[in-house]
Amino acid sequence: MKLVFATNNKHKLEEVRAILPSTIELVSLAEINCREDIPETAETLEGNAMQKALFVKEHYGYDCFADDTGLEVEALNNAPGVYSARYAGAEHDAKANMLKLIRELEGKDNRTARFRTVIALLLNGKEYLFEGIINGVIIEEERGGAGFGYDPVFIPSGYDRTFAEMGNEIKNRISHRALAVRKLTDFLSTLVVNKE
């Protein structure tokens, strides 16, 4: 099965390629010559993910899936949430986003947070949504050199290392994106089985 993943984020692409089974060929936006910035103007992760998937289907004709991920911090009323990638401005500067988050949490005892990924799949004219959530806490300073985004300041529940300290192999097994992708692949596997 061939599916387009509607992202220009090479980190996400690598992460999802590592998680998907070999029976699913993942095609990037670059491979279908989609170079434009796909709009993300919805107020929810679900809305943004579906907006991106619909854009690819309408403009390029491919079945595809798209994701949107947000870091939801309890003490900040679930901010940055849908604005996670542009928390510190439209430049999508991961370092600036992280520093702003650390500043916003100064003096706050409650550092509970969760990463939430929503995947929207458009397949054979139908829409599907899959969600992955991982709970954890935000620490006061960056730790680790792997990963991307807020990974250096997020420790998942049950662990003592940040996503950036654990490396991709462990992160790709337990992360919010891994959980959502697993639900997606389980669903796609049932379709393949049902066709046989």
Show which residues are catalytic.
68
Long-range contacts of 30-34 (CB under 8 A, 24+ apart): 32/4, 32/56, 32/60, 32/62, 34/6, 34/59, 34/60
Distance CA 162, CA 54 (A): 34
Map tokens 């004709």 to a residue.
Answer: 61
Q: How many CB atoms lie within 10 A of CB 189?
A: 14
Contact 24, 185 (CB under 8 A): yes
Handedness of CA 12, 15, 20, 25 (dihedral sign): positive
Q: What is the dihedral of CA 15, 30, 59, 65, to 10 degrees?
A: -10
What are 76's two structure tokens? 């900040």
| Adjacent-strand bridge partners of 70 | 116
* Residue whose C-alpha is closest to residue 64's, from 196, 184, 186: 184
